Amino acid sequence: MPTLRDLGEVEVLRRLAAARRPPADTVVDAGDDAAVVRAEPGHDLVVTTDTLVEGVHFLPAWLAPAALGSRLAAANLSDLAAMCARPRWALLSAGVRAARETESLLDLQRGLAAALEREGAGIVGGNLTAVEGPEWFGLTLIGEAVRGAVWTRYGARPGDLLAVTGSPGRAGAGSRLAGALGEGARAPEWAPLLATWLAPVARVSLARALGVAGGVTAAIDLSDGVGGDLARLCDASGTGVEIDEAAWPADDLLERAAAALSATVERLRFGASDDYELLLAIDPDARGPCAVVAERLNVPLAFVGTFTEAPSVMTVRDAGGGTRPLEASGYDHFVGAG
Amino acid sequence: MPTLRDLGEVEVLRRLAAARRPPADTVVDAGDDAAVVRAEPGHDLVVTTDTLVEGVHFLPAWLAPAALGSRLAAANLSDLAAMCARPRWALLSAGVRAARETESLLDLQRGLAAALEREGAGIVGGNLTAVEGPEWFGLTLIGEAVRGAVWTRYGARPGDLLAVTGSPGRAGAGSRLAGALGEGARAPEWAPLLATWLAPVARVSLARALGVAGGVTAAIDLSDGVGGDLARLCDASGTGVEIDEAAWPADDLLERAAAALSATVERLRFGASDDYELLLAIDPDARGPCAVVAERLNVPLAFVGTFTEAPSVMTVRDAGGGTRPLEASGYDHFVGAG
């Protein structure tokens, strides 16, 4: 199998270009100095970028190239979901070793393109660089939103409901199981947790459907963990939040993982975890319609708390009615897991 | 001076955000899940991305952080110049060591922002990651162009004139002098060559003024070297080109550098060199008006050849009337300099 060095940059770029289709509304595709695309009139552009670094964000032993591409798509798609935007055009920037097999890079692009295409987006350009140290893959994703219709982090109001998709903490649990059990984490019983860690799916369709239904006042995606990301949303909105522990989605598997990891389930639920689920602030009047939308799309959506007046104060109310502070720990790239 | 690790990611991102201004038409600035920007009606988006990797694209001993930021801007601005686009919004993605001083990262952003702002663009978001190996800095730049007005690589026609800005080869000469002479390359006599290598300026203003004047049929920026980039333009356009050696801009300093490097001046002119100058195909009828525009903007613009019918055949006609092939060597990231 030829490596990147065997083929050289020009041929590698040619094969990458030949293996993908330009997305809709691409006027000039990759291969020129820049790509040219045409946005919808009356829409704003929503732009985000995220990079996965070998050894920091992914471990090659756990993530085949196509899955890595898919995960890179999810990280960026999730940011656009949290803004209620429609994903459109992506640029891939990669730092790869010259000894890498060309086919594995094509596989990565296939996984990336497939994940983007499922949401109506595609690759229009990028950049390839040889590196000698850890590899990295960066994506910039451009989306569109009807003017004035984007969700931000700063719109939550006291009295709005806190809703969460899926079961946050599963990705972090999968990652911790791999660290603690090594190959043992590949046991079938842990498969759903490993899948959330390795193959997360961004909530783009749900976000866009909720956007149509209305009533979402603020949103953030879970790339860090409930504690950290909810703190960001509260800080930006100038609110506090009280989580109703009894309403939080029950997750037997997460509880078993907590036992296997000698951790509390609360630590898994609220600690560092990149689930790419959504945290939403929803007007109480829109609870019913939003629940119907989620059910129709088969996305678990739980109403788990209420935003409060107390700026940045986050509490958990337990089944007995007592409250305790929610810790806002997350992942710090320069310091490590908090 | 505190390092990134001393301050942690949240505080570093806060300082980076506080140290810059959002560009015009930014609806939601960095700090949310994505940035939201508003493009002009009737325009297409022109998007590019470029990354500078330590040890590959830059050497910290030769490039202070602010100059590195400026150079990163130039690499991307130049791509938009080559498309005749107006630069608008940028996203910075950086992989940096935790032991780096925070102030040096702020300096880099200052240099980047200043270079973008000179052309009417600015930073709206980005991404910061800790790395242990070589550092890298990636920029995605989004611009706008009036629909149908972008320049591509594929529009050159036989009979169109080849024009070039500045004196290509200076950047490569500067880089080679640094390699060959070490600190000796800092001698005042080499300063203009070192400046082209370390502090190139993209030809955005000229491109936009030529776009208004009309007559440019194809363009590419020199990020690789005349041989390599001109071959790309010819291949894309299905033309050949004949360079008139006597018309090529005279450059005594480049000749002295060739002597100091025991190289031919032709090798420096046409070989690997990232000058961020423009190669343009221009309708012969537009020669006069384009020359006037360049003179008004004080940008050297030389008409140095003619595009021909023979696909991808590139020749040089010397002062005596003889012709020889132009070598299409450039830089290959996976193989090295060709």
Residue B328: its pLDDT value, please?
65
Asked, for residue A3, whether it belongs to a domain, the answer is no
B86 and B172 housed in the same domain: no
Asked, for residue A289, whether it belongs to a domain, the answer is yes
Q: Which of A31, A79, A136 sits opposite B34 (nearest CB)?
A: A79
B226 and B115 housed in the same domain: no
Give per-residue pLDDT as tens, B61-70. Answer: 999 999 999 9
B45 touches chain A (CB under 8 A): yes
Using a CB-CB cut-off of 8 Å, the residues of chain B touching A45 are 36-39, 45, 89, 142
Residue A198's CATH number: 3.90.650.10
**H or E segment at A117?**
helix A102-117
Give per-residue pLDDT as tens, A296-337. Answer: 999 999 999 999 999 999 999 998 999 999 976 666 777 765
Asked, for residue B154, whether it belongs to a domain, the answer is no
Residue B132 has pLDDT above 80, yes or no: yes
Using a CB-CB cut-off of 8 Å, the residues of chain A touching B336 are none
A107 touches chain B (CB under 8 A): no
Phi, psi of A268 (to 5 degrees): -70, -45
Residue A104 has pLDDT above 60, yes or no: yes
Interface of B with A in 128-167 (CB under 8 A): 128-134, 136, 138, 140, 142-143, 145, 147, 150, 152-154
Angle between helical axes of B204-213 and B287-296 (0-180°, round to 10): 140
What is the C-alpha end-to-end distance of chain B, expressed in Å?
42
Residue B207's pLDDT band (boundaries 50, 70, 90)?
very high
A80 and A183 housed in the same domain: no
Are residues A224 and A274 in contact, defined by beta-carbon separation less than 8 angstroms?
A: yes
Asked, for residue B271, whether it belongs to a domain, the answer is yes
Asked, for residue B305, whether it belongs to a domain, the answer is yes
Residue B330's pLDDT band (boundaries 50, 70, 90)?
low
B125 and B168 housed in the same domain: no
Residue B331: its pLDDT value, please?
66
Residue B160's pLDDT band (boundaries 50, 70, 90)?
very high
Give per-residue pLDDT as tens, A206-265. Answer: 999 999 999 999 999 999 999 999 999 999 999 999 999 999 999 999 999 999 999 999
Residue B102's CATH number: 3.30.1330.10
B279 and B252 housed in the same domain: yes
**H or E segment at B140?**
strand B136-146
Give CA separation, A302 vs A159, A245, A291, A337, B159, in Å.
16, 11, 8, 27, 68
Residue B338: its pLDDT value, please?
47
B125 and B190 housed in the same domain: no
Residue A193: its pLDDT value, please?
97
Give per-residue pLDDT as tens, B271-285. Answer: 999 999 999 999 999
Structurally, chain B folds into a number of domains equal to 2
Identify the domain boundary among B96, B121, B146: B146
A131 and A193 housed in the same domain: no
Angstroms from A269 CA to nearest CA on chain B: 21
Residue B52 has pLDDT above 50, yes or no: yes
pLDDT, averaged across chain A: 94
Identify the domain boundary among B122, B146, B170: B146
A45 touches chain B (CB under 8 A): yes
User: Once rounded to an integer, what is the mean pLDDT over residues A113-140?
Assistant: 95
A166 and A304 housed in the same domain: yes
B105 and B204 housed in the same domain: no
pLDDT, averaged across chain B: 94
B211 and B244 housed in the same domain: yes
Residue B337 has pLDDT above 70, yes or no: no
B191 and B141 housed in the same domain: no
Asked, for residue A155, whether it belongs to a domain, the answer is no
Asked, for residue B71, whether it belongs to a domain, the answer is yes
Residue A330: its pLDDT value, please?
64
Residue B31: its pLDDT value, please?
85
Residues spanned by the domain of B24: 4-146
CB contact under 8 A, B132 and A134: yes
Asked, for residue B151, whether it belongs to a domain, the answer is no
A231 and A297 housed in the same domain: yes
Identify the domain boundary among A117, A146, A175: A146
Which residues face A30 on adjacent strands? A32
Percent of chain A with pLDDT over 70: 98
